[in-house]
Chain A
Amino acid sequence: MDAVAPPDPVPVSRQPLVRPAPRTIADLAQAGLIIEDEGRTRLGDEFRICASRLHSTIKASILSGERNGNTLLVTSTKPAEGKSFSALNLAAALAQTAQRPVVLVDADLKPGSISELLGLKRQPGLFDMVADASVRPSELVVATPLPGLSVIPIGVPALQQDLDHRRRPLVEVVDALSAALSDCTLVLDTGPLLSTSDPSVLAPSVAQIVMIVESGRTQKPELEAAMDLIRGNAKVMLMLNKVAGRQRSSFGAYSYYGDYYARPNAPPPAPPSSLSKSQN
């Protein structure tokens, strides 16, 4: 984190592409990346399974030529349900499993978002595109130590008076991003549906939406209300997060994982064939 200390955001936004970034995996891990964590391979596996299913959906969307088929919006009903965490890890897992590079786009204005965690708070990003149509997406992309994973920070929201004449809708920005980074998969991390307007504004312009559901906390009526706010043709998928304990129907309820965790240095066993079947 200490490595990233841009003195002044606005001039920097005009700087060339070379910019400070998370330099090690440990920096990413500090931001919440766990799929590379040796001690918690089970979580990584779970994310990888989710990512592989996401990947096939995205591939299908791209092949069928849907609008912004390479975009994926990650949201939830309420704050603190694990959106940023899930978005980061899903993006990392996608980057690992799929053959396409992944760009994680931070579209969440709240403090403590991915950009802040990665030390990119003052970097130019998404909102610079909103404020200025001339900013090119490729200029904003920040590479990470994880191969195939890049980040577009939130950027600096311009002051209101500066925006008036140049402002463009967020939807257009997403279109531009999707077009400019068409060989990448875009993962947009946004705020909660029931608290902010961004996700519902962005929803029509993306092809996939992953709704994070916190186990034991997100209430069914809340989820239904959030669903009602999503317009457009995006494919909405659910992901259950923060599952406590072991459940037979969830991933990893098999005893040999226990054995495996007991011996952290042992090589990961091949996933049983029955497992992938049960996840269909």
Chain B
Amino acid sequence: METLRELAGRYGALAWRRRWLAVAAAWLVCLAGWFGVATLPNKYEANARVYIDADAVLTPLLKGIAVESSLQDELDLLQHMLLSRPNLERIIAKTDLQLDATTPIETERMVASLADKIKVVAQTRNIFSITYRNTSRQLASDVVQAMLASFIENKAGDNRDEIDRASTFIDSQISIYEQQLRAAENRRAAFRKKYIELLPGDSGVNQLEMARTQVRTLNGELADAQGRRTLLATQLATTQATLGGDGAPGDPHAQLRLAEDKLRELKQVYTDAYPEVMTQQHLVDTLRTAPSVPAGDSAGGMRATSNPVYEQFRLRLLETDSQIESLKRQIADAKTQQDRLEGIAKGVPELEAQYTNLNRDYEVVRRNYDELVSRREGMRISDAAQKKASNIKLVIIDPPSVPRVPVAPNRSLLAIGVMLAGLGAGAGVVAGLIALDQSFHSLIELRAMGLPVIGSVSLATIAPTLLERIRQLALFGGAVVLLLLALGGVLMHFAQPI
């Protein structure tokens, strides 16, 4: 069996035999690659930095109404606005790019490639760098310049449109909410009207409670009236319907006595000059002188006359009776009312729930409506403010500039890469040839053919001397070193300022 060392030795020998093929492949790849690198066109990079107030540009007044967009979304949107199709078409039309885009298809391609090549990168939230590469310095600069210009041009008009759009939106929302609000109001009013007695009104008094109290009050009054009537009836029974001669209430003597008694009482308190005393004195005097007159009447007074007290009692009784009747009727009325209310009152919890619902709906609609109205007002104000201060939104920090040194291609790096690729190609060619090789290297392999083998014979040439080996190695090494030297030359050539 072959050991690993033998195997390595064999493949080494195979590779060594093909070394010049490897060198040739490496040189071929390197020369072609270096030529290719040398002929690559230079690329210049134009760069500008602008300050863009993303909030002002993107969220004119809708903020808060819709879901708040994230910062990343805003930046994406802004980039798309900058690289929008109309924008790019304007850029093409303004610059020399239009020379390459004469047909619609070419324009289409140009727009697509521009959108791809112009890089808008957010450095901070509001500062953007705009970068574009082209083989022509002038064109690179022009494109970035045109881009900025067209963006600035557009900005005012765009904003106006957006405000109008926002305003229209809010107006339409307001009218919708207005209708809803009206409907809710109507529903609530109808409900209130229907169940007004049961709902806790503005006064806060329940109608049913009021009805019950009224019934109770009326009942009390009725009882009072009936008691009074009983009392009056007994009084009436004990009172004489007619009056006799004596002891009649109209007896002048009795009046005189009464008056004299009163006069005495007054004189104990007051002097004679006190007006009341004087009036009383006058009354007594009048009465003293009077008996002659009433004496004439006393003869007639002896007849039976109707008793005034009795008459009064009767009158009072009648009054009380009619009062009782009236109270009874009122109680009946109040009862009916109470019964009706009690009938309705069983459904009160549901009604209250319904009423709460109606109220809530109404409240919600009204709140939104109020909000919208106030926003519209706010918009009017900020719109007015914006008209005055719209130029703050886009400020060019660094105007477009193009360094004299091209940014691409990195020729030195490419040249080194080409050389590595060349060496790889050389090794690859040899490795591929060895891998494809199906020759025989030992008797064991030959015997595997299945035929008798008579033996092996060594290479007839004399083994190379040490000097010869060194010479071969030096030749091969020289070829490789020459490649490295060539790379050095190529690098120096590329390093020169162009």
What is A's interface to B at a CB cutoff of 8 Å? Answer: 34, 39-40, 42-43, 46-47, 49-50, 53-54, 57, 82, 85-86, 89, 210-211, 213-221, 223, 227, 235-245, 247-252, 279
A219 contact set on B, CB distance < 8 A? 437-439
The CA-CA distance from A211 to B13 in the complex, in Å, is 24
Q: In the complex, what residue of chain B is closest to A49 when comparing beta carbons?
A: B455
Bits for B63-80, please: 1 = Cβ < 8 Å to A, else 0. 000000000000000000
10 examples of A-B residue contacts, CB within 8 angstroms: A39-B462, A50-B457, A218-B439, A221-B438, A236-B452, A238-B451, A238-B452, A241-B457, A243-B442, A249-B443
In contact, B452 and A235 (Cβ under 8 angstroms): yes
B459 contact set on A, CB distance < 8 A? 215, 242-244
In contact, B17 and A216 (Cβ under 8 angstroms): yes
In contact, B456 and A243 (Cβ under 8 angstroms): yes
B453 contact set on A, CB distance < 8 A? 237-240
By Cβ-Cβ distance, the 3 closest A-B pairs, closest first, are A240-B456, A50-B455, A220-B438
In contact, A241 and B454 (Cβ under 8 angstroms): no
A216 contact set on B, CB distance < 8 A? 13-14, 17, 437, 439-441
Bits for B425-464, please: 1 = Cβ < 8 Å to A, else 0. 0000000000001111111101001011111111110100
A54 contact set on B, CB distance < 8 A? 454
A34 contact set on B, CB distance < 8 A? 460
**Which of B10, B438, B454 has most chain A Cβ within 10 Å?**
B454
B440 contact set on A, CB distance < 8 A? 213, 215-216, 218, 220, 223, 240
In contact, B442 and A250 (Cβ under 8 angstroms): yes
In contact, A250 and B456 (Cβ under 8 angstroms): yes
A86 contact set on B, CB distance < 8 A? 457
The CA-CA distance from A240 to B455 in the complex, in Å, is 6
B444 contact set on A, CB distance < 8 A? 249
Q: In the complex, what residue of chain A is closest to B453 when comparing beta carbons?
A: A238
The CA-CA distance from A47 to B460 in the complex, in Å, is 11
In contact, A243 and B458 (Cβ under 8 angstroms): yes
**Which of A211, A219, A236, A247 has most chain B Cβ within 10 Å?**
A247
B437 contact set on A, CB distance < 8 A? 216, 219
In contact, B454 and A245 (Cβ under 8 angstroms): no
A123 to chain B minimum Cβ distance, whole angstroms, is 26
Given A46-B457, A47-B457, A237:B443 Cβ within 8 A: no
The CA-CA distance from A178 to B26 in the complex, in Å, is 56
A102 to chain B minimum Cβ distance, whole angstroms, is 16
A238 contact set on B, CB distance < 8 A? 446, 449, 451-454
The CA-CA distance from A214 to B460 in the complex, in Å, is 12
Given A219-B439, A220-B439, A247-B442, A85:B454 Cβ within 8 A: no
- Partner pick for A245 among B9, B460, B462, CB 8 A cutoff: B9
In contact, A217 and B452 (Cβ under 8 angstroms): no
The CA-CA distance from A239 to B457 in the complex, in Å, is 8
- Partner pick for B6 among A82, A239, A244, A247, CB 8 A cutoff: A247
In contact, A53 and B457 (Cβ under 8 angstroms): no
Q: In the complex, what residue of chain B is closest to A43 when comparing beta carbons?
A: B458
- Partner pick for A237 among B439, B452, B458, CB 8 A cutoff: B452
A242 contact set on B, CB distance < 8 A? 457-460
The CA-CA distance from A243 to B6 in the complex, in Å, is 14
A214 contact set on B, CB distance < 8 A? 439
**Which of A34, A49, A213 has most chain B Cβ within 10 Å?**
A213
Q: In the complex, what residue of chain B is closest to A86 when comparing beta carbons?
A: B457
The CA-CA distance from A85 to B170 in the complex, in Å, is 106
The CA-CA distance from A115 to B458 in the complex, in Å, is 24
- Partner pick for A46 among B438, B441, B458, CB 8 A cutoff: B458
Q: In the complex, what residue of chain B is closest to A54 when comparing beta carbons?
A: B454
A85 contact set on B, CB distance < 8 A? 460
Q: In the complex, what residue of chain A is closest to B14 when comparing beta carbons?
A: A216
In contact, B457 and A249 (Cβ under 8 angstroms): no
Question: Given A89-B457, A215-B442, 7 more contacts at CB 8 Å?
Answer: A216-B440, A219-B437, A223-B449, A237-B454, A243-B458, A244-B458, A245-B13
